[in-house]
Structure 1
Amino acid sequence: MVRDRDPHPPPLELRHPGPLLGRAQSRLTGITTETLVSHGVDGREPAGLAVPADGAELSQADATARPGVDRTTMVSLTDGPEDHGLVERRPSPYDRRRNVVALTAPGEECLLQAERARRAAEHRFLAPPSEEAATALLPALRTPAAEEDPATGRPSLSAHAG
C-alpha cells in the first residue's frame, strides 16, 4: 500500500519538539523583551522585581531560590532594577550580616505595568492558535518542563515556582 506523502512537509528542524520549543522560546523572549523595554526593564529584570513583590523580607541569598537562579545571576537581576530605583537593598532587621531586597513604590508600579505588558505579549504570541489550543498549551508544557522530585520520583515544578 502506498501512503500519500505531504508534498510540502515542514523542514526537518520543525518536525521535532526540541527545535520547535527552542524557536518558540526564542520568539517569545524577543516579543517579551521588546514589550518590556518600553517599561524601562529588560526581559530578565522583572524576575528581579517579582522576587520581593510579595512583601516578604527575603535576603538576597534566600531570594535566589524563588526564580531558581544562582546567587550571581540574582545579583545581576537585582542590579539593574536597583540602578533605576525600583528595588533597594537594605540591612535585614533580623540579621545585620544580610541584606534584604525590597521593592520601592516606583518598583511596584513598574512591576504592575510590566506584568500587564508581559501578559499582553504572551497573549499575542499565543493568539494564532484557537483559544482552546492556547489554553491547553500551558498544562501540556508543564509535564516535560518539570524536573523529577527525588522524594516522589514524579515531575515537579516547585523548584521553578515563584
Structure 2
Amino acid sequence: MPLEPRLGHLLERAGSALARASARALVPYGVDVRELGVLAVLAGEEPLSQGEAAGRLGVDRTTMVSLLDGLEDHGLVERRRGAPDRRRNIVGLTDAGRVCLERAQAARSAAERRFLAPLEERAAAALLDALRTLVAADPAGR
C-alpha cells in the first residue's frame, strides 16, 4: 500500500508543513512555537509559578526552566519570589513579552490561515472540528 493514503502519514506531513510555516512566521519575533506557548500561558489572569506553568504546558520542570531562561534573556518574562513561599518563583510577562505575544500570535494565526487557504472555508472548519473531536476523545491526551 502506498504511503499517501495512510492517515498517519498524511497527518504527519500536514503537521510538519504547518510547523514549518509557523516557525517561519515566528522568526521576526525571536520565539519558537514552544516559547509562544509559554508566553500565552503566562498571559493568563492569575500569576503562575514555574511549576504551574510547566504543568499547564505538559513539560517537565527542567525543560520549563530552560524555556524561561531563554525568554528571560530576551526580556520577555521575569521571575520573582513568591510572597508566602519564597522558594516558589512566580513568572510573568514583561511589557515587551506582552507585545511579542500579541504580534507573534497574530503572525502564527496568519500562517495557519495561509496553510488552510487551499481548502474551502467549510472544509477548513470541518477539518478543525474533526481534529478537536479526535483530540477530545483521546483519554491519553488529557
TM-score, normalising length: structure 1: 0.81
**3-state DSSP class of the match of 1:96?**
coil
Greater shift in the superposed pair: 128-137 or 66-75: 66-75
Equivalent residues in 2 for 1:93-104, closer than 5 Å: 93-104=83-94
Q: 5+ residue gaps in structure 1?
A: 1-10, 150-156
Aligned-pair CA distance for 1:76? 2.4
Task: String of CA shifts for 1:109-161, please: whole Å, max 9, x gaps.
Answer: 00000000010000000110101011111110123223317xxxxxxx6x4xx
Aligned partner of 1:63 in structure 2 is 53
Distance 2:99 2:15 in 1: 27
Distance 1:52 1:114 in 2: 15
The ranges of structure 1 where at least 4 consecutive aligned residues each deviate by more than 6 angstroms after the TM superposition are none
Aligned-pair CA distance for 1:72? 2.1
Task: String of CA shifts for 1:49-93, please: whole Å, max 9, x gaps.
Answer: 112101421110111121222222222222221110000111012
Distance 1:56 1:40 in 2: 25
CA contact (8 A) 1:49 1:78 kept: no
| Residue of 132, 135, 139 corresponding to 1:142 | 132
| Residue of 22, 32, 51 corresponding to 2:12 | 22
Q: 5+ residue gaps in structure 2?
A: none
Equivalent residues in 2 for 1:21-100, closer than 5 Å: 21-100=11-90
Instruction: Give the letter for the 1:88 counterpart.
Output: E
- Identity value in percent: 55
**3-state DSSP class of the match of 2:78?**
strand
Distance 2:30 2:124 in 1: 29
Aligned-pair CA distance for 1:35? 0.6
**3-state DSSP class of the match of 2:43?**
helix
* Larger helix fraction of residues: 2
Distance 1:20 1:94 in 2: 50
CA contact (8 A) 1:37 1:43 kept: no
TM-score, normalising length: structure 2: 0.91
Aligned partner of 1:3 in structure 2 is none
CA contact (8 A) 1:47 1:77 kept: no
Greater shift in the superposed pair: 23-32 or 51-60: 51-60
Aligned-pair CA distance for 1:41? 1.2
